[in-house]
Amino acid sequence: MTIAPAGARRENPARTGEVVGEVAYDDIASVDRAVSRAREAQESWRGTPVGARAAALRAALDLLEPALDEIAELMARETGKPLADCRGEAGFAVTAARWVADRAEELLVDREVDDAQGRLVVRHRPFGVVAAVTPWNAPVILAMLKVAPALVAGNAVIVKPSPLAPFAVGEVVATLARTLPDGLLQIVHGDAEVATALVGHRGVDRVAFTGGDVAGRAIARTAADALTPSLLELGGNDPAILLADVAMDDSVAERLLMAAFATSGQVCMAVKRLYVHRSRFDEVVAALRAAADRVLRTGDPLRSGVTMGPVVSEASAQRVRALVETAAASGAEVVPIGTVDPETRLSDGHFVLPTLVLGASDTDAIVATEQFGPTLPVLPFDTEDEVVARANAGELGLGASVWSVDEERAFDLAARLDAGFTFVNTHNRTGMSLRAPFGGVKRSGWGREYGDEGILEHVQPCVVHAPAAFRAGGHGLGATAYPS
């Protein structure tokens, strides 16, 4: 596997003395060249029938699949995610892309109506060049969710990955690009300066971004200055609500626990706040502690049996520890959970041991903000009206979940939550579906990925219309008339 010989260095967050690799950063001139090449490639690609574009994507995926194990190990080393999770993500990325290729062939056909009202044709026109700016925490799937629909829709794509996870995405892009027209799919590396140059480039026609709110605001400002339409999937402070009738068996406890602590809690749609009916509070806490002993093992992500690795950086570790310490200083109880892999030396990496936080108030930062780390506040509630108001507090509205044996009750409560995606009796990746559009409300972004909507984000409906009044045999309309 080839890694660029010079540039920014990325260390393994589980073993900071190990350098995963170095990547050369692009400069403004190379961004400009990449955009020029992309525009040239897209001119012919847009005229390729959607079926042929889908077939080309499938052929590229055929080339990618044999490399997935190697890509997964590289992802584990650069992100700190457990190897099993990385293998799952890489495989799912291919599955999602194949779904896009199949669905786009049906979805992106021209729609034509010829009837008494006239003749109407709606065509799905690609934007042109899409800038895909992606994060480090799920680098392959979050890149693929932009690359696959944008390509099959007729766009060219330039990916700008996070400096914290450039290598696995780089291999994916390079492998896919081998069978595609030259310049159609490219990658540029760099920091905020490179992202700004790409997003604000006059030759970029669409921006797709996943990441935190600080970077998201900067991306949105830059795109707005250039009047470039954007898709933003930002952070979340997802509430999970366990009603009094929740079936708290071992499988539910384990599913809930991993919905909060997978990827060390560094997932936008992870459970960030757990609201439990007061009558079940002690039972749920005990079930989570027992489940953690069974399934939550912290350690080197390459070791067998490890389910939680380090956080991505020392700055992240310090931030999460500060949230927990501040809550404890305000009177909350901090409960360590899970086990530690005996062969891992935690001092070698950015490890933060997982905790439950009990007795925090809704105004504590660990509840009111997105922790993005391996800690979970567990909060009692008494009434549904109360918990809905508490769950809806704040500016974010990405995901949420309701847990109950009564599905109708859960759906009724879900309808009252300010969330773009509400899960029932699960949360996080176990509740996702390729057919279900995903994205946030409020300040968790705009636009959708997954589902038909995720494909349609990368096209513009363009219309040709001949009203019946002006066709052969029509009776016409006055020059100032409104349509009837």
- Token code pair at residue 323: 């949230």
3-state SS, residue 447: coil
- Active-site entry in 11, 78, 89, 233: 233
Q: Which of 127, 128, 143 is nearest to 93 (CA)?
A: 143
Under a CB-based contact definition with an 8 Å cutoff, are residues 20 and 10 in contact?
yes
Under a CB-based contact definition with an 8 Å cutoff, are residues 111 and 188 in contact?
no
- Active-site entry in 11, 73, 86, 268: 268
Partnered with residue 273 across adjacent β-strands are 239
Question: Length of the chain in residues, anyone?
Answer: 484
Residue type, 123: R
Rounded-to-integer distance, Cα 326 and Cα 305, Å:
32
Q: Which of 402, 346, 394, 348 is nearest to 374 (CA)?
A: 346
- Token code pair at residue 89: 């993500």
- Token code pair at residue 77: 């080393």
Give φ, ψ of 364 to 5 degrees. -65, 145
CB burial of residue 181 (10 Å; 0-12, 13-18, 19+): middle
The answer to whether residue 171 is catalytic is: no
Rounded-to-integer distance, Cα 39 and Cα 33, Å:
10
3-state SS, residue 334: strand
The answer to whether residue 233 is catalytic is: yes
Radius of gyration of the chain (CA): 24
Q: Which of 249, 238, 267 is nearest to 429 (CA)?
A: 267
Rounded-to-integer distance, Cα 183 and Cα 172, Å:
15
Three-class HEC string of 108-124: CCCEEEEECCEEEEEEE
Rounded-to-integer distance, Cα 295 and Cα 142, Å:
26
Residue at token pair 């038909």: 452
Where in 211-369 does DSSP place strands (E)?
A: 230-233, 239-242, 273-277, 297-298, 333-336, 339-340, 355-358
Count of Cβ atoms closer than 10 Å to residue 66 Cβ? 9
Active site (catalytic) residues:
233, 268
